[in-house]
Structure 1
Amino acid sequence: MKRSILFDTETTGLDPARGDRVIEIAALELVGDLPTGQHYHVLVHPERDIPEEASRVHGITLADLEGKPKFADIADGFLEFIGEDALIAHNARFDFGFLNAELKRVQRPPLSLERMVDTLDIARERYPGLPNSLDALCRRFSIDLSARTTHNALLDCRLLAEVYLELMGGRQRGLGLAVQDAGTAQVSYTYDHAAQRTPRPVMPTADELAAHARFLEKIKEPIWTG
């Protein structure tokens, strides 16, 4: 059964080419698009300052990272966890760019873009013209956002895992995932054919409807308004 890794990073800024660094990495193992319970999470000392505007986004200060490992110390463990499997992220080019910059510093091979699965691209294809941030998608799929007061890589991974499952078609009632124990990735599935999937209506907000209308105005003679 297909294994993939869903991951997220937090950073000191927006541009690795200007010296911004990774300060947090979180990753969840998925088998058959469902979390197995296996995860990887580490805080990383960036060997530089963290601008105040970045700390306001993710809530992490340099003081929080005192004594934490440097990327060189965790690179091999991270690469071992992700293996050669597909890598899923939201706005994945951002995360790939940062991780490949870090890997280059420690003389490790870059992550191939052929492994990249970008949930932002998937969402934009499914919902053109609508907001497709992680927050917007969670609201669209009625996923609880109450714990997301700041960007946190591990929490964002768990939210994105739910979003990704919905983007892939959603979990059917009666479909269960059983992890044999905490040290293995062996899974089994059971399906109750008598169970019926409860419809999960997606109700767009007024802002989303307005954005969709603006998108349709750009299309010559759209069939949706005929």
Structure 2
Amino acid sequence: MQSDSENRITMNDYINNIPKLVGIDLETTGCSFSDRIVEVALIQYEYGKETLKFVERVNPGIPIPEVVTRIHGISDNDVKDKPAFSQYADKVLNIITDAVILGYNVMFDFNVLSHEMVRCGKGFLDPKKWVFLDPFVIWKKHDPKNLESAYKYFCKKEHNNPHNALSDIVVTLEVFKSQMEIYNDMPSNYMELGTYCYPKDESWVCSSYHFVYNDNGDIVCNFGKNKRVLLTKLVKEQRTFCDWIVCKDFPEDVKALVKKAMNGEVLPKKEIVIE
């Protein structure tokens, strides 16, 4: 009788038996499926051997938000002279056709890619035609990131009353205390710890990057075609754009700011300190 270790499938067993495996990773203008690609990378393997490597930066046709640039390091200037994704669409499509696709949180990349294919006339990519391998999903299934699993991991206890609000708070506090004891690289005070959990950009007017203070302390748009345009100018010349913000799924404080500007109310102004 074979042991568990003898029965266990190794990674090479998986990789070496796949006729065509394509690893994919995209850098984009944001975290929505409708965002644009700024860099596409693909590596093709045939029965475990690398046979092709493809990586290109592309001009997304829209500004890259500064908050996104800080994550992947690709700025508008880096891609301003690059071709549009449409120039590579056929090559990318050829590489992924009949392939098993591997990626970390791969369905995000695949959906962004599908949207790009539609935009350049290649049509919708039906995910039913592909097999996807995703280490992120495997990790979540083996180590789910919910309060119950956190309580078990950090406190070595079972959460016997999950989704009861009061019980969840007590358990959350226990998890927090255990984390502070286990992780020795945490900030020493709660204000710094708050910034560690949810970093704040001093240039943001609201809770998100959509509007920022410029060098003069005035509020400007920080995304899309109206990036760097004064909010006071937007409400006069781009009323439809402002209406769109108010009606769409933006943070409530962003909507409130735009409404305030549309009503002609006095907007906050950042004090500029001259040293």
Shorter-chain TM range is 0.5 to 0.7
User: 1:24 corresponds to which residue?
Assistant: 39
Root-mean-square deviation (CA), in Å?
2.6
Q: Kindly indicate whether residue 138 of structure 2 is the aligned counterpart of residue 122 of structure 1.
A: yes
Secondary structure of the 2:101 match is strand
Q: Kindly indicate whether residue 34 of structure 2 is the aligned counterpart of residue 7 of structure 1.
A: no
- Would the aligned equivalents of 1:40 and 1:81 in 2 still touch at CA under 8 Å? no
- Would the aligned equivalents of 2:21 and 2:99 in 1 still touch at CA under 8 Å? yes
Deviation at 1:108, TM superposition (A): 1.2
Q: Map of 1:128-139 to 2, 5 A cutoff? A: 128-129=144-145
Gaps of 5+ in 1: 131-207, 221-226
Gaps of 5+ in 2: 1-16, 162-275
How does the TM-score come out when normalised to structure 1? 0.55
- Greater C-alpha radius of gyration: 2
Choose which of 83, 93, 112 in structure 1 pairs with 2:107: 93
- CA deviation vs aligned residue, 1:126-176 (integer Å, no higher than 9, x gap): 33349xxxxxxxxxxxxxxxxxxxxxxxxxxxxxxxxxxxxxxxxxxxxxx
Letter aligned with residue 85 of structure 2? F
Q: Distance in 2 between matches of 1:36 and 1:212?
A: 38
Q: Which has the higher contact order (CA 8 A, sep 6+)?
A: 1
- Structure 1 residues 51 and 85, CA, compared in 2 at 3 Å: closer, same or farther? same
Determine what percentage of the aligned residue pairs are the same residue.
Answer: 27
- Structure 1 residues 11 and 5, CA, compared in 2 at 3 Å: closer, same or farther? same
Secondary structure of the 2:88 match is helix
Aligned length: 140
Q: Distance in 2 between matches of 1:211 and 1:79?
A: 44
Secondary structure of the 1:84 match is coil
- Structure 1 residues 127 and 72, CA, compared in 2 at 3 Å: closer, same or farther? same
Deviation at 1:55, TM superposition (A): 0.2
How does the TM-score come out when normalised to structure 2? 0.46
Point out the structure with the larger helix share. Answer: 2
- Structure 1 residues 210 and 10, CA, compared in 2 at 3 Å: closer, same or farther? same
- Structure 1 residues 219 and 62, CA, compared in 2 at 3 Å: closer, same or farther? same
User: 1:61 corresponds to which residue?
Assistant: 75
- CA deviation vs aligned residue, 1:7-58 (integer Å, no higher than 9, x gap): 10000111244xx2111010111234x3515211110100110110000000
Q: Distance in 1 between matches of 2:57 and 2:141?
A: 33
User: 1:46 corresponds to which residue?
Assistant: 60
User: 1:107 corresponds to which residue?
Assistant: 121
- Structure 1 residues 97 and 212, CA, compared in 2 at 3 Å: closer, same or farther? same
Q: Distance in 1 between matches of 2:160 and 2:141?
A: 15
Deviation at 1:63, TM superposition (A): 0.6
